[in-house]
Amino acid sequence: MTKPLNVGTIGYGFMGKAHSNAYATVNHFFDLQYRPVLKAVCARNAEKAQAFAATWGYESVETDWRKLIERKDIDLIDICTPNNTHAEIAIAAAKAGKMILCEKPLSMTGPEGLHMVEAVEKAKVPNMVWYNYRRVPAVTLAKQLIDEGRLGRIFHYRAKFLQDWTINPELPQGGAALWRLDAAAAGSGVTGDLLAHCIDTALWLNGNLDSISATTETFVKERKHNLTGKVEKVGIDDAAIFMGRFHNGSLASFESTRYARGHKALYTFEINGEHASIFWDLHDLHRLQYFDHRDQGIVRGWRSIHVSDSDHPYMGNWWVPGLQIGYEHSFVHQVADFLKGLETGKPAMPDFRDAYRTQLVLDAILESAKSEKWVKVVHG
Amino acid sequence: MTKPLNVGTIGYGFMGKAHSNAYATVNHFFDLQYRPVLKAVCARNAEKAQAFAATWGYESVETDWRKLIERKDIDLIDICTPNNTHAEIAIAAAKAGKMILCEKPLSMTGPEGLHMVEAVEKAKVPNMVWYNYRRVPAVTLAKQLIDEGRLGRIFHYRAKFLQDWTINPELPQGGAALWRLDAAAAGSGVTGDLLAHCIDTALWLNGNLDSISATTETFVKERKHNLTGKVEKVGIDDAAIFMGRFHNGSLASFESTRYARGHKALYTFEINGEHASIFWDLHDLHRLQYFDHRDQGIVRGWRSIHVSDSDHPYMGNWWVPGLQIGYEHSFVHQVADFLKGLETGKPAMPDFRDAYRTQLVLDAILESAKSEKWVKVVHG
Amino acid sequence: MTKPLNVGTIGYGFMGKAHSNAYATVNHFFDLQYRPVLKAVCARNAEKAQAFAATWGYESVETDWRKLIERKDIDLIDICTPNNTHAEIAIAAAKAGKMILCEKPLSMTGPEGLHMVEAVEKAKVPNMVWYNYRRVPAVTLAKQLIDEGRLGRIFHYRAKFLQDWTINPELPQGGAALWRLDAAAAGSGVTGDLLAHCIDTALWLNGNLDSISATTETFVKERKHNLTGKVEKVGIDDAAIFMGRFHNGSLASFESTRYARGHKALYTFEINGEHASIFWDLHDLHRLQYFDHRDQGIVRGWRSIHVSDSDHPYMGNWWVPGLQIGYEHSFVHQVADFLKGLETGKPAMPDFRDAYRTQLVLDAILESAKSEKWVKVVHG
Amino acid sequence: MTKPLNVGTIGYGFMGKAHSNAYATVNHFFDLQYRPVLKAVCARNAEKAQAFAATWGYESVETDWRKLIERKDIDLIDICTPNNTHAEIAIAAAKAGKMILCEKPLSMTGPEGLHMVEAVEKAKVPNMVWYNYRRVPAVTLAKQLIDEGRLGRIFHYRAKFLQDWTINPELPQGGAALWRLDAAAAGSGVTGDLLAHCIDTALWLNGNLDSISATTETFVKERKHNLTGKVEKVGIDDAAIFMGRFHNGSLASFESTRYARGHKALYTFEINGEHASIFWDLHDLHRLQYFDHRDQGIVRGWRSIHVSDSDHPYMGNWWVPGLQIGYEHSFVHQVADFLKGLETGKPAMPDFRDAYRTQLVLDAILESAKSEKWVKVVHG
């Protein structure tokens, strides 16, 4: 029989939905000892929290996250709130001895993240950050191919994350759905939102970044603020580009923006190695492009791998070859791995410390963009 | 509050899993009056049924489908068993006044299907057949574009469904996972399995087929039979091709096979109209290709539509633009539509009568392949 | 030093241009003993012939093809005129001892084609038919892969050739640029024009067709005739579909049309073998798609081969890897092979006899479409 | 009648071949007053020059370019030699009053380029630099769409040029075919070779670059030198990345390398505007990807434009819709435009001055890579 693991989720927005789905679904497809129980959802707006609880089958509702953390019947706190609240909640939850799953990015800054790391490490509570794209099967397969040494020496790593949803200058900033445009709540713009994903994957696949040079841009300088009702200066970066050098000697080329017309969520990365190259694209997330120079010359070409076979990562748990999965499955996989980690004692990654390393790169990017100089990345 | 709808599922195989997931998920994403309750699962093997019930949260287990049908606490019977059992179960369930959802194809033959249609219509029970691909958002969008008259007069409809999983002659036929290779259980090979999907979509999108000429082939003539342990003649068709004419004057070109190396589940269709054309492909199911001749000449091209915007069919219920869904979502949508149909009194399609029309085309194909003559399709 | 080979070209239309370019270009890129000399172009309209000669550097002009054939200074007659003139010219040219290159399709019918075959074989003159797509490097590579046995037993061969240029019912038939719509000049519609290409490639790659069942359609039944000025019945087929069986046991599925909105010249073929599959597409003619099941499972996928490496067929003669060639290069390659054949005594294919085999399939298609029955293909 | 324009080509390598083909072909497809005559080819190796002349039909051979320049019967000097020879030849040719077509990059450095500009402007001789990719029809179409204002305000311009031909460390540097790896002959590595193309297109499509920050890398530090026979330090850059700001406020992201396994000549650019975006790729050069946000939402998608219609740039001169052209056609178009410019008095671009602007960006890149600082681009 499975053991219940009582989850208390803070926040009912997009990520509250994605995580709740993962908890509700994971045991249907993965054979695990633990079974998440949707014990409580917490949000300041009681009515909306109630509605969310009804939809997802949460057993109870809280409107103060401190109360949730105090509850004895909660094993795990899931933080799905804006970035500027992560640290306070996480540190309190750690002190209360709760396991913690925190939305990305971990924190507003590196130093803040370090406090969080220290809190969970001191409390010895299981912890993880929702960099979900590691668990898209095609991305996990990329990791596997790299770990097998198939690529040889790496020369290039390039990634971009392109969106187009903030081009309209009439779009306001701040408040419920638009806190990501408010520097006070989000910390930064695309750097913390989109580049954070690119960097998490990159550090995982290609190791540390040693130094970077970055630039950022805010195309729309002023927007009405939902919280004040006034037109205010926009504090976030609309676009960010950086180049750099990885510790393994390869060159980095990264870009993210919310002003790339035609791209909704085009996260792509490409790695060029001595022997082989890999390319992936979130818009067709179930495919991996793979080029192996060791193939015979006349039939050498980029292979479009439909990552849906039972020997592909995670896919044996779903349907049959040729039938693709989607976005939310990456969250299901992350919960499955987290629960498996509890069973085996080998924690699923990225934990807070791992995610803190990404935070240090984000800090370097923002510093370089401001100083217009190359910046050495601190290794966490 | 939602009203419970008690489901009794017969069969725990691939389709039992796909349907159970749909029942478990639908209310998380769709706002509906009814909420399916996983009341009972039924299978001859009690142990396996028990394990399946535990995984999915079915409240009880039955080993005799007749007992399940007799239960007063069951509202809806879901038939996920091999084709040769559909009719007997469905007719009995109809007599017992249960709603019925039946896996495709409806029946072994047209006449058998007609008995099933008559049974549900006499009993006036809601009924539906799981031709799930109608509810892939890109396919539903295709239907919408056609209904809006965007294509103009239709000249061509071509579809294929290509797989490659039975090429190995050592693969046996019959029994649990391989009943689809056993003519006694499946009725036919790719015709009832794969072409059935192609035809359901085609009749829905393009209207009736009037006449067809078909050919079938069995590449591996003998296989070991799992039930007898002996090498036996293979009775199913490994591949089937037909051409024909639709009632609207357009030409039909269809093909399906399990011997197309490199294709796992490549269901594609293309429709060429006077003004516009449409193409869809199950291997990248979240995209629709659309060509509109009315676009200005110099910028005319096939548009690759990433069907993930909130104004695309069903997609407003899931994530945000750019984030794709997968295979199982089509089943969730079908349950959502079925439940909505109960609310509104406008039944979701395809019902048994609608699916019976597909059955009549399947009969015509098998007859034509045998007689080597053109055959008129009976319109049901 | 190279030896001159004096060419007399009959016709200055699209194909006159494509062939003239091939003669003018071939020695720049291929190391050959023979060098075509543009000696004369022949057309009824002296003025247009003169202009064409000036553009291409033809040394002289004729307005009567019989005179051209009589000229002692002409070694080779190139027939670029409508289909209904091929036989008469070719038979006369053969009698005059000229080498003959004839546009495809060879003839109006199989029996007519046989006369032509007999004429060139009796006269022992080098002869070839312009089925140029064999010499697209990606297609030649497909042939090479098949000849090496990489595909194993073949199960399926499917081809289509889709265009959309005759959808407008106001387009007239007949006369200069539109003789292809006039049954008297063309013999048939898409069957002789487009399917002929598909069949030539198929017989070359996959061997003889044994039997076929076909259907044709004329969507626009009447068009104004350019030669009479009157609205007349359209005698050609606008679309043709056939299915059949190859001698090697594989199934055939073929389609062509001029009513597929969005496709200008979409000639595609796909071959599915036991071990590997191949796909090619004229719209991106410099690529070959190749799937090899013997690749390791987790990295198995369709390989998109950019056929531009120096070890790819013909490509060592052009540029460097990554730089693609286009349509007209297939004609250059065909002339190169023809000239090489003169050097080596191993004639380039397809010769008249080879092209006659395609003609017999075309006859079978038209017969089957008329009789609505399966027809055995005569092997020439 | 056409007027002869006598061409003297210096160099018989890859570019000598590409240019000679353009001269030999242009009048076959374009209606022009001038007709290039292949008067002389010049190279130090008389035997090779003779062979080249025989292949292409050059009337004579020179082994000293100074003699070629002195010849009265030469109208136009075409410089196809390594970068370090351009200036001396071009300045001498200008003094001799010859028209000059010079291979790209114009010069070794900006200042050297300025001398060349001054020479041709003083001599008032027609001059042009072979940045051929402007004349790929899809690229020219991109220019047309931008000039029509379809994209609106531009936010992003990103380009890359990826190759993989120098990964092998055993590849030597210097001498005939490998002068591009020798800093003394080439000036720089990928910066002058590949980025130069990207920058030329970018300045043409998107206007001036104001400032840039760049980094370069040499992955293989030492290679055997073909001229000395010794292992020597490699002086060129193997890879170069830069980011920057265009004068119109858009962000620049550029990368080039010869170490991207799987890419032979992957020159791509993408432009994201307020209303529309454009993407192009040299590996499928006959296509342009175009996204227009003004398309109706449900059918919005990237359009894959097969640039082969008669109303597409240059394509009315070639074949029929659907039939693609290749790499060398861009050179034919450039010659056609140059000759048309002689007719009309409106010189074809890029002339020396225009190409000099690209040179100034290249200088800024190399300076920034060395200083690790942002550098303002001098506008020429």
CATH code: domain of residue A52: 3.40.50.720
CB nearest to C374's CB, from B249, B293, B372: B372
To which residue do tokens 């008259």 refer?
B149
Determine, for residues D297 and B290 on separate chains, whether the beta-carbon distance falls below 8 Å.
no
Determine, for residues D283 and C55 on separate chains, whether the beta-carbon distance falls below 8 Å.
no
Task: Please enumerate residues of B whose Cβ is less than 8 A from a Cβ of D.
Answer: 141, 144-145, 288, 290, 292, 295, 297-306, 309, 311-312
Q: How many domains does chain B have?
A: 2
Task: Please enumerate residues of D whose Cβ is less than 8 A from a Cβ of C.
Answer: 14, 18, 20-21, 24-25, 27-28, 55-56, 163, 165, 263-266, 282-287, 306, 308-309, 318-329
Dist. CA A89–CA A100, nearest whole Å = 10
Write down which residue in A91, A113, A132 finishes a domain: A132
Residues of chain A with pLDDT below 50 are none
Nearest Cα residue in chain C from D309? C264
Q: Supply the range of the domain harboring residue D31.
A: 3-132
Could you tell me the end-to-end alpha-carbon distance of chain B, in angstroms, rounded to an integer? 40
One-letter amino acid of D316:
G
Write down which residue in D77, D110, D132 finishes a domain: D132
Task: Please enumerate residues of B whose Cβ is less than 8 A from a Cβ of A.
Answer: 14, 18, 20-21, 24-25, 27-28, 55-56, 163, 165, 263-266, 282-287, 306, 308-309, 318-329
Dist. CA D202–CA A71, nearest whole Å = 60
CB nearest to B304's CB, from D145, D298, D304: D304
Determine, for residues D282 and C329 on separate chains, whether the beta-carbon distance falls below 8 Å.
no
Dist. CA C278–CA C139, nearest whole Å = 10
Write down which residue in C76, C97, C132 finishes a domain: C132
3-state secondary structure D343-370: HHCCCCCCCHHHHHHHHHHHHHHHHHHH
CB nearest to C323's CB, from D265, D318, D324: D265
Dist. CA C206–CA A280, nearest whole Å = 36
Dist. CA D82–CA D188, nearest whole Å = 12
Among residues A303, C161, C252, which one has the least CA distance to residue B257? C252
**Cα–Cα distances in angstroms (integers) from residue A152 to residues A271, A299, B373, in the given order:** 11, 21, 59
Among residues A332, A319, A320, which one has the least CA distance to residue A140? A332
- B-to-D residue pairs, Cβ atoms closer than 8 angstroms: 55
Q: What is the pLDDT of residues C296-331, one digit of tens each?
A: 999 999 999 999 999 999 999 999 999 999 999 999
Q: How many CB atoms lie within 10 A of CB C192?
A: 28
Does the bond joining A313 to the residue before it have cis omega, within 30 degrees of 0?
A: no
Determine the residue among C141, C295, C299, C309 to mutate to test chain A binding: the one whose Cβ has the most chain A Cβ atoms within 10 Å: C299
Determine, for residues D328 and C308 on separate chains, whether the beta-carbon distance falls below 8 Å.
no
The neighbours of chain D, by the rule of 3 or more Cβ pairs under 8 Å, are A, B, C
Determine the residue among C213, C257, C303 to mutate to test chain B binding: the one whose Cβ has the most chain B Cβ atoms within 10 Å: C213
Q: Which helix (H) or strand (E) holds A61?
A: strand A60-62
Name, in order, each residue with C-beta under 8 angstroms of A111's C-beta and a sequence gap of 6 or more. Answer: none
Clarify whether residues A266 and A318 are in a common domain.
yes
Residue C1 has pLDDT above 80, yes or no: no
Determine, for residues D303 and B295 on separate chains, whether the beta-carbon distance falls below 8 Å.
yes
Clarify whether residues D334 and D191 are in a common domain.
yes
Clarify whether residues C59 and C177 are in a common domain.
no
Calculate the dihedral angle through the C-alpha atoms of A39, A41, A46, A47, rounding to the nearest 10 degrees.
-90
Clarify whether residues D47 and D157 are in a common domain.
no
Could you tell me the end-to-end alpha-carbon distance of chain A, in angstroms, rounded to an integer? 40
Residue C118 has pLDDT above 80, yes or no: yes
Determine, for residues B326 and A321 on separate chains, whether the beta-carbon distance falls below 8 Å.
no
What's CA C46's distance to the chain center, in Å? Answer: 28
Among residues C94, C143, C140, which one has the least CA distance to residue C116? C94
* CATH at residue C187: 3.30.360.10
pLDDT score for D380: 81
Nearest Cα residue in chain B from D313? B298
Among residues C166, C153, C161, which one has the least CA distance to residue C133? C161
The pair of structure tokens assigned to B167 is: 């090429």
Predicted model pTM: 0.98
pLDDT score for A1: 74
Average model confidence (pLDDT) across chain C? 97
Clarify whether residues B141 and B189 are in a common domain.
yes
Dist. CA B262–CA C277, nearest whole Å = 7
The pair of structure tokens assigned to B262 is: 């490199």
Determine, for residues C213 and B217 on separate chains, whether the beta-carbon distance falls below 8 Å.
no
pLDDT score for A176: 80
pLDDT score for D371: 98
Clarify whether residues D19 and D147 are in a common domain.
no
Walk across the sheet containing A127-129 and list its strands: A60-62, A34-42, A3-10, A76-79, A99-102, A127-129
Determine, for residues A272 and D260 on separate chains, whether the beta-carbon distance falls below 8 Å.
yes
Clarify whether residues A302 and A331 are in a common domain.
yes
pLDDT score for A347: 97
Q: What is the pLDDT of residues C188-226, one digit of tens each?
A: 999 999 999 999 999 999 999 999 999 999 999 999 999
Tell me which chain A residues have a C-beta less than 8 angstroms from the C-beta of B325: 326-328
With beta carbons less than 8 A apart as the criterion, state whether C364 and C94 touch: no
Walk across the sheet containing B34-42 and list its strands: B60-62, B34-42, B3-10, B76-79, B99-102, B127-129
With beta carbons less than 8 A apart as the criterion, state whether A101 and A338 touch: yes
pLDDT score for C33: 98
Clarify whether residues B117 and B214 are in a common domain.
no
Tell me which chain D residues have a C-beta less than 8 angstroms from the C-beta of C265: 320-323
Per-residue tens of pLDDT for chain D, all 380 residues: 799 999 999 999 999 999 999 999 999 999 999 999 999 999 999 999 999 999 999 999 999 999 999 999 999 999 999 999 999 999 999 999 999 999 999 999 999 999 999 999 999 999 999 999 999 999 999 999 999 999 999 999 999 999 999 999 999 999 888 999 999 999 999 999 999 999 999 999 999 999 999 999 999 999 999 999 999 999 999 999 999 999 999 999 999 999 999 999 999 999 999 999 999 999 999 999 999 999 999 999 999 999 999 999 999 999 999 999 999 999 999 999 999 999 999 999 999 999 999 999 999 999 999 999 999 999 88
Dist. CA A182–CA A235, nearest whole Å = 7
On the 0-12 / 13-18 / 19+ scale of CB atoms within 10 A, A31 is exposed
- pLDDT bin (cut points 50, 70, 90) of residue C177 is confident
Clarify whether residues C30 and C10 are in a common domain.
yes
With beta carbons less than 8 A apart as the criterion, state whether A23 and A130 touch: no
Dist. CA A136–CA A118, nearest whole Å = 29
pLDDT score for C175: 85
- B-to-C residue pairs, Cβ atoms closer than 8 angstroms: 112
**Pairing status of strand B231-233 against strand B222-224:** antiparallel
pLDDT score for B286: 98
The mean per-residue pLDDT over the stretch B214-219 comes to 98
- Chain B: nearest CA to D277, how far in angstroms? 12
Q: What is the pLDDT of residues B228-241, one digit of tens each?
A: 999 999 999 999 99
- A-to-D residue pairs, Cβ atoms closer than 8 angstroms: 110
Clarify whether residues C126 and C196 are in a common domain.
no
Q: Is B97 left (phi over 0), alpha (psi -120 to 50) or beta?
A: left
Q: What is the DSSP letter of B323?
A: -
- pLDDT bin (cut points 50, 70, 90) of residue B380 is confident
- pLDDT bin (cut points 50, 70, 90) of residue B350 is very high
Task: Please enumerate residues of C whose Cβ is less than 8 A from a Cβ of D.
Answer: 14, 18, 20-21, 24-25, 27-28, 55-56, 163, 165, 263-266, 282-287, 306, 308-309, 318-329
Clarify whether residues B126 and B139 are in a common domain.
no
Residue C107 has pLDDT above 90, yes or no: yes
Determine, for residues B327 and A328 on separate chains, whether the beta-carbon distance falls below 8 Å.
no
Tell me which chain A residues have a C-beta less than 8 angstroms from the C-beta of B329: 326
The angle formed by the CA atoms of residues D300, D306 and D308, to the nearest 5 degrees, is 140
Radius of gyration of the CA atoms of chain C, in A: 21
Dist. CA C176–CA C364, nearest whole Å = 29
CB nearest to A241's CB, from D167, D243, D373: D243
ipTM: 0.97
DSSP D16-69: HHHHHHHHHHHHHHS--SEEEEEEEEE-S-HHHHHHHHHHHT-SEEES-HHHHH
Clarify whether residues A229 and A324 are in a common domain.
yes
Tell me which chain B residues have a C-beta less than 8 angstroms from the C-beta of A163: 322
The pair of structure tokens assigned to A341 is: 């980690």
The share of chain C scoring above pLDDT 90, in percent, equals 98
pLDDT score for C224: 96
